[in-house]
Structure 1
Amino acid sequence: MPTVAVFTDTYLPTVNGVTYTVKTWRGRWEDRGGSMPVVYPGADDYDPAPNEFPVRSVSFPFYDGYHAALPSIPEEINGADPDLVHTHTPFVMGLAGLHYARTHNVPLVASYHTPTAEYADYIAEGWLRPPVEKAAKAYERWYMNRAEMVVVPSEPARHHLREMGVRTPIEVVPNGVDTDTFAPVDTEQFRRENDLNTGKPLVGYTGRHGYEKQLDLIVEATDGMDVTVVFGGDGPARDHLEELAADSDADVRFLGFLDREDMPAFYSSLDAFAFPSPVETQGLVALEANACGTPIAAVDAGALSDTVDTGVTGYRAPPGDADAFADVIERTIAERETLRENCLDRREQISVEHAVDVLDDVYDMLL
C-alpha cells in the first residue's frame, strides 16, 4: 500500500464534512496497511496524534471556528517518504502540497469539496461579490489543472468542474459513510434528554449553519406545519435562524453542537432530514441520515440532485421555493416507512469501505 501525504486547510478540532472525510479515509487506509500522514493548520485545543503534522496558523477572520495555515511544510513529512500527495484544498495547504509534489516528483491528487465562489458572501458584499466569485472560479480552475488527477464526490461536481474549464482527469470518489457508526439505534434516551417527545413528526437538520446553505427555508417551509423542527450544529447563520424561528408559527428547537456519538440517535429520531442547501458537492449528512434509515427532503440542486433518489431515499423541490419545499417535507413524512426501508437497503453502496476501494483504484492509476 502506498504512502499518501494529505494536505488540508480543515482538520481537527474543526468538525465538518472535509475533516470527517480526511479522518475516515485515513483510518481505513491505515487499516489496510497503508500510511496517510496529514499536514494541517495547528490549533491550541488539539494535540496531534502520530503521523499528524500541524503547521502554524491564525484564526480565520471571516469564518468563525476555522484556522488559516501560514505557508510552510513541516520537515517531518520528508521522513514519511510519500508516494503521492493528496490535497483537500486549493488554498494555503493545497499550494504547499502542490509545491511538495513538484519538488519531490510525485503525483498530485486534488479533492474538490466545496465550490469556493458560493462563499463569497463571507468576504464580499454588493458590487464586490461578482468579481470575487469570478476570481475564485479562475483560481480553482488554475489549481485543479495542475493536478494529475481531481477527485470529486459526485457526478454533478464533475460536471461543474468541466463547465469551469478544468481539463485534468476527474474521478468520482464518494466520501462514504461509516456504516458501523451510522445505523438505526434506539432513540428514547436521546429524545427524552432533548425534550423531543412532542407527539409530532420530527424534521431536522445538522451541520454547519452557513448562510450559503439557505437553512431559513426550513423555518419558512414548516411555518404553521404540525411538526417539531430541530437544528443540530452551529455557525454564523444561527442567530438569524433563531430570529426567524421566534417570529414564525413553528415549533423549532436548537440543540447546538452534538457529540459524535449522539449523531446516530439524532438521525434515527427524525421522520425527515431537511436539506435545502444548493451548494453541496455531495451532502455527507444526507448519506449519514440515510444510513440511519432517515429519508431526505432536499432541493434539486448541486449534488443533492444525485445524492437524493426521488421516491426512493427522499424527495426534492426546486431550490429557494418554500411552498414546494413544504410539500416535499410533508410527502417525505407521509412515506417515511417505505423510504426508510429503501435507505437501509443502500447502506453498503454508501459505505466508506466502498469509497476507499474506489480511492485505491484512483491511486493505482497514478502509480
Structure 2
Amino acid sequence: MARRLAILATHPVQYFVPVFRGLAAKPGWRCRVFVGCLHGVESPSYDPDFGVAFAWDCDLTSGYERTALTGWPLKALSGWRGVLAGGWAALRLLLWRPDAVLIYAYSPSFIATASLLLALARVPILLRADTSDEAYSRSAIKNWLRDAVLRRYYRCCRWILPIGAESYRHFLRLGVPPARLRTVPYAVDQAVIPPWAQEEPHQPQPDRLRLGYVGKFTPVKDPLIVARALDHLSAEERDRLSFAAAGDGPLLAACRAALEPLLPQLAFHGFVNQSDLPAFYRQIDLLLLPSVQGEVWGLVVNEALSQGVRVVVSDRVSSRHDLVLSSTQGWVFPAGQSRALARAIRLALQQWPWARRAHPTPSPQQLVAAVQEVLG
C-alpha cells in the first residue's frame, strides 16, 4: 500500500507547485495538497502591494491531488478566522490519515494552528518555512519572544528543510540538530521560466549597460534608492545606462519622476506575469534588488541568474549567501546606502560588456529528492 504524504500551504504558489507535482509522481507515495484558499488561481485577486488584481497565467492546479479547505480570501487565513480554518485543516488532514505532512511556513494563524494540532496528534511533520535572522530588524524584546516561540515550535517538527545557508544558521541557532536539517534553496518553475540557452542570439550593447528592476514598488523594496545612487554617478557614467522595470505599486510614480531627469532611456512595463518574464529579462543586463527588509530569499535573483543577467542585491537579500558568490553573479551592497549602490553599479560598468551566461540555479527536484530522502 502506498504511503501517504499530505502537504499543507496557504494557497498554490508558483514556486511550490513544481514540488507538488514532483512528489505526486514519486512511486510508492500518494500525495495530496491541502490549501487554505485558491488566491490568484481561479479568479483575479487583489494584491495591495502591486496595487492591481491579477491571476497567475501559469498552471497552478494540475498534476497533483488537491483540496481547497475554504473559499475565503488569503487575508482571512490570519487572526481568529485563521485559527478556525487551521482547526478545520487539521481535522481534514487527520481524516485523510497521512503518514507525514509537509508544511509550508509557520504563519499565518491558519498554518500555526493546524501544525500544532497535527503535532499533538503525533503526525510526523516536515517544515519548509521562510526563515531569516537578517531580513527584519526587531527590538531585543521581540527577538527574545520570537526565539522562545520558535524554539518550541521547531521541536514539533521531525525534519526541517531550510531554504538556504542563512536559514540553516537560523535553525542551528535555535537548537535544531544538524541531523534534522536538509538545506534545499528556493527554486523557480523552470517550465515557466526556462534557463536561457547559450545558443540563443544575444547582442550586447557595449556602450550601454541595461539596468532592471522586477517586483513591487513598496518601501521595503526601496526602489527610490536607485535614483539616489544614479545621482552619485557622473553624467558620462549615466550616459552608459538605461533602466527598465517590471512591477507596480504605490512608489511607482515617485520612482519614475526621480529617474526621468537622470536617465534618457526608461521603460516601465507595469505588472508582468510569469510567462512574460523571460522576455523582460532579455531586455536587461543587470538586475537591482535593493530591499531594506523582508527579503528572506529573493526569487528574482534565481530568475535573473538563470537568464544570464547579473545582479546587484542589498545585504538584506538572504539568497546572496547561496547565489551571489562572485562578480560573475553580481555584487552586494549595504541596504539603504545609495553611495554603496552607486559603487556597485560603477564596478559593473567597469566590467561591461561581459558574455551573457546563464548561471546554474536550484531546481525544484532538489526539494523532491530531499523529501524522499528523509521519508525513506
TM-score norm. by structure 2 comes to: 0.73
Q: Give the Å deviation of 1:146.
A: 2.1
Alignment of 1:28-67 (within 5 A): 28-33=22-27, 34-43=29-38, 46-47=41-42, 50-55=65-70, 57-58=72-73, 60=75
Question: Of 20, 28, 52, which aligns to 1:26?
Answer: 20
Q: Deviations over 1:317-364 (max 9, x none)?
A: 2332212212222433553564632x44x25xx222234323322333
Q: Give the Å deviation of 1:76.
A: 5.0
Distance 1:229 1:363 in 2: 47
| Equivalenced residues, count | 330
Structure 2 residue 116 is the aligned partner of structure 1 residue 105: no
Aligned twin of 2:9: 8
Change in CA separation of 1:260 and 1:76 when aligned onto 2, cut-off 3 Å? same
The one-letter amino acid paired with 2:21 is G
The one-letter amino acid paired with 2:188 is V
Question: Of 263, 268, 275, which aligns to 2:289?
Answer: 275
Structure 2 residue 297 is the aligned partner of structure 1 residue 297: no
Kindly indicate which of the two structures has a greater share of residues assigned to helix. Answer: 1
Asked if the contact 2:87/2:114 (under 8 Å) is kept, the reply is no
Structure 2 residue 105 is the aligned partner of structure 1 residue 89: yes
Asked if the contact 2:14/2:189 (under 8 Å) is kept, the reply is no
Asked if the contact 1:280/1:304 (under 8 Å) is kept, the reply is no
Change in CA separation of 1:45 and 1:113 when aligned onto 2, cut-off 3 Å? closer
Distance 2:258 2:189 in 1: 38
The one-letter amino acid paired with 2:31 is M
The one-letter amino acid paired with 1:264 is P
Aligned twin of 1:207: 215
Aligned twin of 1:331: 347
Unpaired runs of 5+ in structure 2? 43-60
The one-letter amino acid paired with 1:22 is F
Asked if the contact 1:268/1:289 (under 8 Å) is kept, the reply is no
Change in CA separation of 1:54 and 1:322 when aligned onto 2, cut-off 3 Å? same
Alignment of 1:304-319 (within 5 A): 304-319=320-335
RMSD across aligned positions (CA): 3.6
Asked if the contact 1:8/1:87 (under 8 Å) is kept, the reply is yes
Question: Of 185, 194, 199, which aligns to 1:182?
Answer: 194
Q: Deviations over 1:231-276 (max 9, x none)?
A: 2234xxx323431431343445432321211011112221101122
Distance 1:39 1:138 in 2: 29
Question: Of 245, 262, 270, which aligns to 1:256?
Answer: 270
Asked if the contact 2:124/2:157 (under 8 Å) is kept, the reply is yes
Structure 2 residue 299 is the aligned partner of structure 1 residue 284: yes
Distance 1:295 1:256 in 2: 22
TM-score norm. by structure 1 comes to: 0.75
Aligned twin of 1:191: none
Aligned identity (percent) is 18
**What SS does structure 1 have at the residue aligned with 2:287?**
strand
Distance 2:213 2:97 in 1: 42
**What SS does structure 2 have at the residue aligned with 1:218?**
helix
Distance 1:184 1:276 in 2: 24
Change in CA separation of 1:211 and 1:8 when aligned onto 2, cut-off 3 Å? farther
Asked if the contact 2:285/2:309 (under 8 Å) is kept, the reply is yes
Aligned twin of 1:153: 163
Task: Please identify the structure whose Cα radius of gyration is greater.
Answer: 2
Distance 1:44 1:111 in 2: 20
The one-letter amino acid paired with 2:325 is D
**What SS does structure 2 have at the residue aligned with 1:72?**
helix
**What SS does structure 2 have at the residue aligned with 1:202?**
strand
Q: Deviations over 1:43-100 (max 9, x none)?
A: 5764476423233545639x9xxx9673333465456432211111212232244245
Question: Of 135, 139, 155, which aligns to 2:149?
Answer: 139
Distance 1:116 1:30 in 2: 33
Aligned twin of 1:167: 176
